[in-house]
């Protein structure tokens, strides 16, 4: 006797905002009628923080994992103990997305040390002989549009051997001049990052140009915190010795789930940066870093 349990959300993209109602159906399908001891459904939103082993000792990281921060939680009983008929049964449900007190629903974010996740969980209790069934379903929360529009000002940059920092032998560097601009560093998260870069001259042929999107996660509070930056994605925008004097577009779509509007709270921070990386044919690696401010409008 098999029974399957499924949660189906009404919205295909599973995206909800604060104040809206998460609605959907619980789908039960079994061949014949089935006895159960009650079905319950819970919604939960939490921030999981983790300290990296690099910032603190390994054991500390293991034990001192910062406590998760609950954002929202509610529970309803869908059905009392009883029987469900054979075939497919759909039980609709609705959860209002309201926070208690002055808590804010942060946007869903899947990171390395910070994870913000919202889930629906459906449990079906059954008799001793049969295992209890449960089903998880993640839904996505987008924060409400920010009122203040970001001021988008283009950022110009020029890279020459002279502008570089932390290099060992400046003299061994080949000569090059790379100019470019980003259209904005205050970015709307649903819009791509755009700009242009142009190799004006370079003594050594260029091997590759890449855009590296980096997340900077900070956990902890004033007395002690860990700040780690990790790569989210790396996109190649030029391959091989590109034509000099021809501007190459900078274009990156912010990946969903792995990015969220820049977030700063008392316990943790999530920030993003972009690196424009130029690899020369002699494997010199030139990086230009730009902090980004992401927002949702």
Distances (CA, A) of 280 to 127, 178, 214, 237, 250: 67, 12, 21, 14, 18
- 188 or 228: CB nearest another protein: 228
CB 105 within 8 A of CB 72: yes
Minimum Å gap between C-beta 176 and another protein is 15
- 107 or 228: CB nearest another protein: 228
Minimum Å gap between C-beta 57 and another protein is 15
- 39 or 49: CB nearest another protein: 49
Minimum Å gap between C-beta 243 and another protein is 5
Enumerate binding residues for another protein (CB under 8 A): 11-13, 52, 54, 112, 205-206, 209, 212, 214, 228-243, 246-249, 251-253, 255-256, 275, 277, 285, 287
Would you say how long the chain is, in residues? 297
3 state DSSP class of 170: helix
Helix (H) or strand (E) holding 230: strand 224-239
For 179, counting Cβ atoms within 10 Å of its Cβ (0-12 exposed, 13-18 middle, 19+ buried), the class is middle
- 85 or 205: CB nearest another protein: 205
Residue 285 structure tokens: 């690696």
Minimum Å gap between C-beta 256 and another protein is 6
Minimum Å gap between C-beta 192 and another protein is 8
3 state DSSP class of 60: helix
- 136 or 234: CB nearest another protein: 234
- 184 or 237: CB nearest another protein: 237
Minimum Å gap between C-beta 62 and another protein is 15
Distances (CA, A) of 279 to 170, 231, 282: 16, 17, 8
User: For 53, phi and psi rounded to 5 degrees?
Assistant: -70, -20
């Amino acid at each position: 006797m098999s029974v399957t349990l499924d949660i189906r959300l009404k919205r295909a993209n599973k995206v909800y905002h604060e104040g809206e109602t998460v609605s959907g159906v619980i789908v039960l399908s079994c061949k014949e009628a089935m006895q159960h001891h009650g079905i319950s459904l819970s919604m939960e939103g939490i921030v999981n923080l983790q300290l990296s082993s690099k910032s603190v000792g390994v054991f500390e990281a293991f034990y001192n994992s910062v406590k998760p921060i609950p954002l929202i939680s509610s529970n309803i009983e869908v059905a009392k103990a009883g029987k469900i008929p054979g075939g497919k049964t759909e039980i609709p449900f609705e959860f209002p997305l309201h926070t208690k007190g002055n808590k804010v629903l942060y946007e869903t974010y899947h990171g390395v040390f910070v994870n913000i996740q919202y889930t629906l969980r459906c449990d079906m209790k059954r008799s001793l002989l049969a295992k209890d069934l449960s089903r998880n379903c993640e839904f996505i929360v987008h924060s409400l549009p920010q009122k203040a529009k970001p001021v988008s000002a283009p950022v110009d940059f020029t890279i020459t051997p002279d502008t570089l920092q932390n290099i060992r032998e400046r003299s061994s560097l080949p000569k090059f001049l790379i100019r470019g601009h980003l259209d904005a560093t205050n970015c709307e998260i649903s819009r791509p990052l755009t700009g242009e870069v142009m190799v004006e001259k370079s003594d050594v042929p260029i091997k590759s140009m890449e855009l590296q999107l980096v997340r900077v996660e900070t956990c902890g509070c004033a007395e002690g915190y860990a700040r780690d930056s990790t790569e989210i994605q790396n996109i190649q925008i030029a391959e091989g010795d590109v034509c000099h004097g021809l501007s190459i577009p900078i274009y990156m779509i912010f990946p969903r789930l792995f990015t969220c509007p820049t977030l700063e709270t008392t316990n943790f921070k999530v920030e993003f940066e972009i690196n424009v990386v130029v690899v020369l044919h002699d494997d010199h690696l030139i990086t230009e870093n730009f902090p980004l401010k992401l927002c949702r409008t």
